[in-house]
């Protein structure tokens, strides 16, 4: 995890960008195991260890972590909203119920603003897209090393917890929206859809090929930009979190006072447990201060002392940078979920408009 060595830096980033893949390794693939190289006799369905095996799987592979986290978050969304819906009363709402009502009203308002057709499905769809994408993006705010490290201790080698940094997930959602667009275009307009594709900018039969080309490019660009925008934003955000985390680790490795301590205990690769202990101690000290057990002056001194043992001022700087980027990122994740929702509504609204 040390930052000085470019090879290990690159490895650290690539390890973080690697999904947990389950798939079919083709027969004859040379697999690296603990006992040496092993050549597979037949096609094998297995978990991939590392990027090269994941690449060798080709099409027959599934990103277990992306699927697991996104479906899990979808279930969480359904459960929370159902719970609120069951409890809803005509009285004054409070707490969680109030919050859910706020979200529903917000989405309802957005749909009313930009959707002018008559369709019962658009508002629930918009709500699902907004909350689901928001929850998936929210995973970005968990510390980058936390879950992969814990999973690593439990024996799972790779883990990418933000499903929306996986292009398969974002493009899949965009594809879903695209299918709905096509469906409603055909259902509402019928042959008018063909007419729109062939007769649109230039209303003359001689221009049909040109019109068709332009309209098809415009149509296909919509799902592409929808999926890639979300993916690109989340990927870049995740990348910056990883880079700051790397600086944090590098700073700790060359910490000012007792930086060598963890190197002494754990060698070059600092163990996650060390950070967990320091983190728990600092949290404990702050908690004591909140409860009034120790004075603020002592709290500051104790915290600074713990931080110097844990790797000095660089570590603190790294933590502050993570925190700062996380706060900016709250804006980005909400905005991207909102944009995905609004664009879905707008595209479906365009599918419902007869002539323009």
Partner 1 sequence: MELVIIAAAIMLGLGALGAAIGMGLLGGKLIEGTARQPELGPMLQGKMFLLAGLIDAVPIIGVGIAMYLIFVVAPSVGA
Q: How is residue 101 written in tokens?
A: 């009502």
Spatial contact of 172 and 163, defined as CB atoms under 8 Å apart: no
The residues in 202-241 that bind partner 1, with binding defined as CB under 8 A, are 228-229, 232-233, 235-237, 239-240
For partner 1, the closer of residues 206 and 331 by Cβ is 331
Tokens read off for 348: 């479906």
Q: Cα torsion for 42, 43, 48, 49, to the nearest 10°?
A: 20
CB of residue 2 vs partner 1: minimum separation in angstroms?
A: 14
Residue 50 — left, alpha, or beta (φ > 0 → left; ψ -120 to 50 → alpha)? left
From 54, 26, 52, select the one nearest 41 (Cα to Cα).
26
d(CA 260, CA 147): 26
Nearer to partner 1, 239 or 304 (CB): 239
Does 94 qualify as catalytic in the annotation? Answer: no
The CA distance from 171 to 88, in Å, is: 35
Residue 339 binds partner 1 (CB under 8 A): yes
CA distance 91 to 103: 18
Nearer to partner 1, 64 or 104 (CB): 104
The piece of 7-15, 43-51, 55-63, 146-154 that touches partner 1 (CB under 8 A) is 7-15
DSSP-assigned letters across all residues of 14-36: HHHT---EEEEEPTT-EEEETTE
CB nearer partner 1, residue 236 or residue 276: 236
Minimum CB separation of residue 207 from partner 1 in Å reads: 30
Contact 40, 29 (CB under 8 A): yes
- Interface with partner 1: number of residues (CB under 8 A): 22
Apex CA 253: angle with CA 249 and CA 258, to 5°?
125
Round the CA-based radius of gyration of the chain to a whole number and report it: 26
User: Which of these ranges, 2-10, 46-54, 212-220, 255-263, lies near partner 1 under the rule CB under 8 A?
Assistant: 2-10
Question: Residue 17 or 212: which CB sits closer to partner 1?
Answer: 17
Contact string 8-37 vs partner 1 (x = CB under 8 A)? -xx--xx-----------------------
Binding mask 243-272 for partner 1 (x = CB under 8 A): x-----------------------------
What the block records as the tokens of 265 is 């205990």
The least distance separating partner 1 from the CB of residue 246, rounded to whole angstroms, comes to: 8
Query: Contact at 8 Å (CB) between 321 and 247?
Result: yes
Per the residue annotation, which of 233, 262, 295, 349 is the catalytic one? 233
The catalytically annotated residue of 229, 262, 289, 295 is: 229
211 part of the active site:
no
Known active-site residue 229: yes
The angle formed by the CA atoms of residues 204, 206 and 211, to the nearest 5 degrees, is: 75
Kindly tell me which of 301 and 335 has the beta carbon lying closer to partner 1: 335
Strand, helix or coil for residue 30:
strand
Please identify, among the stretches 77-85, 121-129, 283-291, 337-345, the one whose residues bind partner 1 according to the rule CB under 8 A.
337-345
Q: Closest separation between CB of residue 235 and partner 1, Å? A: 5
Q: Which is nearer to partner 1, 177 or 197 (CB)?
A: 177
| H helices present in 115-207, as ranges | 122-138, 146-153, 167-184, 191-199
Structure token pair of residue 26: 């083709």
d(CA 152, CA 12): 14
CB of 178 to partner 1, least distance (A): 19
- Binding region for partner 1 (CB under 8 A): 6-7, 9-10, 13-14, 228-229, 232-233, 235-237, 239-240, 243, 332, 335-336, 338-339, 342
Which residues are identified as catalytic?
225, 229, 233
């Amino acid at each position: 995890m040390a930052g000085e060595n470019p090879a290990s830096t690159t490895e650290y980033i690539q390890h973080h960008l690697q999904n947990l893949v389950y798939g079919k390794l083709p027969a004859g693939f040379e697999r690296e195991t603990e006992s040496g190289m092993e050549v597979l006799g037949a096609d094998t369905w297995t978990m991939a260890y590392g990027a090269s095996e994941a690449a060798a799987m080709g099409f027959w592979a599934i990103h277990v972590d992306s699927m697991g986290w996104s479906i899990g978050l979808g279930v969480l969304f359904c459960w929370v909203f159902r719970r609120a819906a069951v409890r809803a009363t005509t009285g004054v709402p409070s707490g969680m119920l109030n919050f859910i009502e706020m979200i529903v009203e917000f989405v309802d308002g957005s749909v009313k603003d930009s959707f002018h057709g008559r369709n019962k499905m658009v508002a629930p769809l918009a709500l699902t897209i907004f909350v689901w994408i928001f929850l998936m993006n929210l995973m970005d705010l968990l510390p980058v090393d936390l879950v992969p490290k814990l999973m690593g201790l439990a024996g799972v080698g790779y883990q990418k917890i933000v499903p929306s940094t996986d292009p398969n997930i974002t493009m899949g959602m965009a594809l879903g929206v695209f299918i709905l667009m096509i469906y409603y275009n055909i259902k509402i307009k019928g042959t008018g859809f063909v007419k729109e594709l062939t007769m649109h900018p230039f209303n003359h039969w001689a221009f049909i090929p040109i019109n068709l080309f332009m309209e098809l490019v415009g149509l296909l660009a919509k799902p592409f930009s929808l999926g890639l925008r979300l993916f690109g934003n989340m990927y870049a955000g995740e990348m910056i979190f990883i880079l700051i985390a790397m600086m944090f680790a590098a700073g700790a490795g060359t910490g000012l006072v007792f930086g060598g301590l963890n190197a002494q205990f754990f060698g070059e690769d600092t163990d996650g447990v060390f950070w967990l202990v320091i983190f728990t101690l600092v949290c404990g000290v702050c908690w004591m201060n909140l409860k009034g057990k120790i004075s603020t002056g002592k709290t500051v001194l104790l915290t600074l002392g713990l931080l110097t043992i844990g790797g000095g001022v660089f570590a603190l700087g790294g933590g502050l940078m993570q925190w700062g980027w996380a706060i900016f990122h709250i804006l980005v994740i909400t905005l991207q979920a909102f944009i995905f929702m609004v664009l879905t509504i707008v595209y479906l609204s365009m599918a419902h408009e007869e002539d323009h």
